[in-house]
Amino acid sequence: MSKVVKFGGSSLASANQFKKVGDIIRADEERKYVVPSAPGKRHINDTKVTDMLYGAYALAEAGKSFSKELKEIKLRYEEIINGLELQTNLDSEFDTIAANFKAQAGKEYAASRGEYLNGIIMADYLGFPFVDSAEVVKFNEDGSFNASLTDTLLKEKLKDLKGAVVPGFYGSLEDGTVKTFSRGGSDVTGSIVAKAVHADVYENWTDVSGFLIADPRIIDRPEVIDTITYRELRELAYMGASVLHEDAIFPVRKEGIPINIKNTNAPEDKGTWIVESTCQRSKYTITGIAGKKGFCSINIEKDMMNSEIGFGRKVLQVFEDNQISFEHMPSGIDTMTVFVHQDEFMDKEQKVVAGLYRLSQPDEVEIESDLALIAVVGRGMKATRGTAGRIFAALAHANINVKMIDQGSSELNIIIGVSNDDFEAAISSIYDIFVVAQL
Ligand code: ASP
């Protein structure tokens, strides 16, 4: 049995946090492969080391002095080293980094040093070998991730090691140039390592005890989701829930490896399990609620639309021509409504309307702005009667006007459109009816 454990920035922001992480790893000998992030914020007004590195490198790029900034970064690491009473000396590492900054080694190289240095400290602290991700995580020339080469290299490197520290977030191109994933990308590294070693679990340690059923800025202390399927998570992520990098799902999902989101500051909490499929019923009919404000609807009306061949294609063609992606497209017999992100649409509004008249010759085009979409997601819906009824009764009770309803045939989610102003109240009333009422 082996587990891959990834620790986020806040879990490694200080010596104190490192100690918690050390205790967690030592408490379970299956926790063999460790993927650290760079030190994150120690308190709300603090700066992440990754951001400090971007800042210092911007100065280097502009030909300005960056020594004060680099020194501050070094201090962050020294504080950790001293607090852990280690002998790790990063002097020569920082000399190399300064020289590479001067030689303009690139923004991604700069950012990657956050994880690289934290990995060196972590390896020292645990007595585990350090594996430089630049040697084992590979990208193609066009910048895309090279999954098969990475898998081969990682397997080869890790096969004889009983444990290892593999820093998150970066890898390299064929010629050795350092490249990073997008922000939050250490989650992706953890997933790739878990796949390569056929881990039994990928534990992703952060500063929350798992995914919450709803946004805590809207619901006071919402319940934690204990088990969620990958598909459900996708439906929620797409509406804006972000604890885990989206790309972290694919490597482990293909191998049937579950992800367990855990809290470094409350290691006894069970956290959230993300699994491919499960016969575990969720505690409530719904697994989660997520949503986003700032959509526009374009309602296109035309008599006999239902019998006109190619009408839908022509409408969507207009959006494609204007480089606008659409979010949802509910339709009626003589109407079609297209939901788009308001900020993407605003500048192109009149071009779209003109295009619609030209290509699809509608009777009328009506635009409504400031709309919010809410996804109510749950694998339990399929087997439960009356879910939609309960949602709409709750919304009616809260005096909320529903502008759009869309239920996918998978019966995994129901999407509801309301006005921006009703967004929070709508989420509260849905949470109340499914969760609070069941407590
Ligand atoms: N340190 C990087 C960031 O701040 C990557 C990560 O933490 O996953 O985005």
Domain final position from 207, 225, 247: 207
% residues pLDDT > 70 (the chain): 99
Asked if pLDDT for residue 240 goes beyond 80, the answer is no
Cα separation, 379 vs 11, whole angstroms: 32
Confirm whether 52 is domain-assigned: yes
Greater pLDDT, 354 or 238: 354
Confirm whether 246 is domain-assigned: no
Domain final position from 177, 207, 237: 207
CATH of the domain at 12: 3.40.1160.10
> Ligand 1: residues within 6 Å at CB?
9, 37-38, 48, 50, 114, 168-169, 183-187
The answer to whether 74 and 94 have CB atoms below 8 angstroms apart is yes
Average pLDDT over residues 130-148: 97
pLDDT digit string, tens, across residues 279-306: 877 788 899 999 999 999 999 999 999 8
Confirm whether 277 is domain-assigned: no
Distance of CA 81 to CAs 77, 116, 124, 285, Å? 6, 15, 10, 48
pLDDT the model gives residue 238: 66
Q: Using alpha carbons only, how large is the chain's radius of gyration in Å?
A: 25
Asked if pLDDT for residue 254 goes beyond 90, the answer is no
Same domain membership, residue 74 and residue 178: yes
Total count of domains within the chain: 2
Taking the alpha carbons at both ends of the chain, their separation in whole angstroms is 37
* pTM given for the model: 0.89
Confirm whether 248 is domain-assigned: no
Greater pLDDT, 42 or 410: 42
Same domain membership, residue 176 and residue 27: yes
Confirm whether 190 is domain-assigned: yes
Exposed e or buried b for every residue in 373-392, given b needs 16+ CB within 10 A? bbbbbbbbbeeeeebeebbb
pLDDT the model gives residue 341: 96
pLDDT digit string, tens, across residues 86-95: 999 999 999 9
Confirm whether 39 is domain-assigned: yes
Same domain membership, residue 293 and residue 197: no
CATH of the domain at 300: 3.30.2130.10
Asked which of 25-29, 243-247, 360-364 is least confident by mean pLDDT, the reply is 243-247
Cα separation, 361 vs 371, whole angstroms: 26
Nearest CA to ligand 1 atom 2: 184
Query: How far away, in angstroms, is 52 Cα from ligand 1 center?
Result: 12
Asked if pLDDT for residue 407 goes beyond 90, the answer is no
Confirm whether 172 is domain-assigned: yes
For ligand 1, mutation pick of 186, 191, 243 (most atoms within 8 Å of CB): 186
Same domain membership, residue 161 and residue 51: yes
Confirm whether 262 is domain-assigned: no
For ligand 1, mutation pick of 115, 122, 182, 264 (most atoms within 8 Å of CB): 115
Query: How far away, in angstroms, is 387 Cα from ligand 1 center?
Result: 39
Asked if pLDDT for residue 413 goes beyond 80, the answer is yes
pLDDT digit string, tens, across residues 141-182: 999 999 999 999 999 999 999 899 999 999 999 999 999 999
Query: How far away, in angstroms, is 50 Cα from ligand 1 center?
Result: 7
Query: How far away, in angstroms, is 308 Cα from ligand 1 center?
Result: 51
Query: How far away, in angstroms, is 116 Cα from ligand 1 center?
Result: 12
**Ligand 1 atom nearest 185 alpha carbon:** 8
% residues pLDDT > 90 (the chain): 87
pLDDT digit string, tens, across residues 21-77: 999 999 999 999 999 999 999 999 999 999 999 999 999 999 999 999 999 999 999
Asked if pLDDT for residue 241 goes beyond 90, the answer is no
Q: For residue 20, give its domain range.
A: 3-207
